[in-house]
């Protein structure tokens, strides 16, 4: 059964449509009337920084972004612009600072916005003994047929003799409510959040992301859904969270994959950037 007949009814044109992954802002002209299904993963938030290598400070990774799906009809020569939001940027200022929220992503059909995905929230910090929780996810997707909230990063607990940094959260692309990075109460390096599990370091050799098709992994990154790992120099795969970054030489592993949160770091320069947004489009023309 075709996508068009399954979701809209009606026959499919002999002219075949296409499927496309969208990593950067893209403009599309549809040559014939047809049906479109667009899945949009919002960008991730960046990790917070403690701006210090001393003990008694704590920071959390960033939250993953929400995602949603919209199906709609198009006419011949309709124009769609998919704006891909950037992941939350590294904190600045030279002092302990919260992470930044990911950028907003939109789909605009013939000048009208039909889908909006907010970015995940940035991590939080504290500079005295105790626990800091990552922010409660409140980012939304507006205009979709359905949407799934982002995942909260793990907490960080420090004492006078411990610096604690948690990693970034993974996206909930499996719709199971999992993907949180480990809550941290000790110094050390910790994996970024993995899709389909809480606590990181879960090995997922293959995941069929039904709503996002076959997802390519960028060079030097892990498989889709697998969090960044400092000890193995593994960068986060698509939709996964970045590792925490207590080491200045390992910042690449702290950045989130598509939609994943960045890991917390001991300085602004070595804090994980949130993963950028990602979209997947299916177009089928009809008679």
pTM: 0.91
End-to-end CA distance of the chain: 16
Output Rg (C-alpha) for the chain, integer angstroms: 19
Contact, 243 vs 31, CB < 8 A?
no
pLDDT number for residue 88: 98
pLDDT number for residue 201: 63
pLDDT, tens digit only, all 287 positions of the chain = 454 545 445 454 555 889 999 999 999 999 999 999 999 999 999 999 997 777 789 999 999 999 999 999 999 999 999 999 999 999 987 789 999 999 999 999 999 999 999 999 999 999 999 999 999 999 999 999 999 999 999 999 998 878 899 999 999 999 999 999 999 988 777 899 999 899 876 655 556 677 898 788 888 888 889 999 887 778 999 999 999 988 766 889 999 999 999 999 988 888 999 999 999 999 999 97
Tell me which H or E stretch contains 26.
strand 26-29
pLDDT number for residue 77: 98
10: tokens are 């009606």
Tell me which H or E stretch contains 165.
strand 164-165
**Where does residue 85 fall: left (phi above 0), alpha (psi -120 to 50 degrees), or beta otherwise?**
beta
The position carrying tokens 């701006």 is 51
pLDDT number for residue 1: 44
């Amino acid at each position: 059964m075709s996508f068009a007949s399954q979701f809209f009814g009606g026959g499919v044109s002999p002219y075949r449509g296409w499927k496309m992954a969208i990593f950067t802002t893209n403009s599309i002209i549809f040559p014939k009337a047809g049906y479109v299904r667009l899945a949009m993963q919002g960008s991730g938030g960046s990790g917070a920084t403690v701006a210090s290598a001393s003990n008694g400070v704590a920071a959390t990774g960033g939250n993953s972004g929400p995602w949603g799906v919209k199906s709609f009809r198009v006419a011949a020569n309709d124009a769609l612009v998919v704006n891909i939001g950037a992941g939350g940027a590294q904190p600045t200022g030279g002092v302990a600072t919260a992470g930044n929220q990911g950028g907003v992503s939109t789909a605009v059909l013939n000048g009208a916005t039909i889908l909006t995905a907010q970015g995940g929230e940035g991590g939080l910090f504290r500079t005295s003994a105790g626990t800091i929780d990552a922010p409660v996810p409140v980012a939304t997707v507006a205009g979709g047929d359905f949407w799934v909230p982002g995942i909260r990063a793990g907490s960080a607990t420090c004492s006078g003799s411990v610096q604690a940094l948690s990693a970034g959260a993974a996206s909930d692309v499996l719709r199971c409510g999992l993907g949180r990075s480990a809550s941290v109460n000790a110094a050390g390096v910790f994996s970024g959040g993995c899709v389909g599990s809480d606590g990181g370091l879960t090995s997922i050799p293959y995941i069929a992301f039904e709503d996002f098709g076959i997802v390519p992994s960028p060079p030097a990154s892990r498989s889709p859904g697998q969090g960044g790992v400092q000890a193995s120099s593994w960068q986060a795969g698509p939709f996964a969270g970045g590792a925490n970054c207590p080491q200045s030489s390992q910042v690449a592993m702290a950045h989130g994959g598509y939609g994943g949160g960045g890991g917390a770091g001991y300085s602004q320069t070595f804090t994980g950037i949130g993963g950028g947004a990602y979209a997947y489009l299916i177009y089928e023309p009809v008679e």
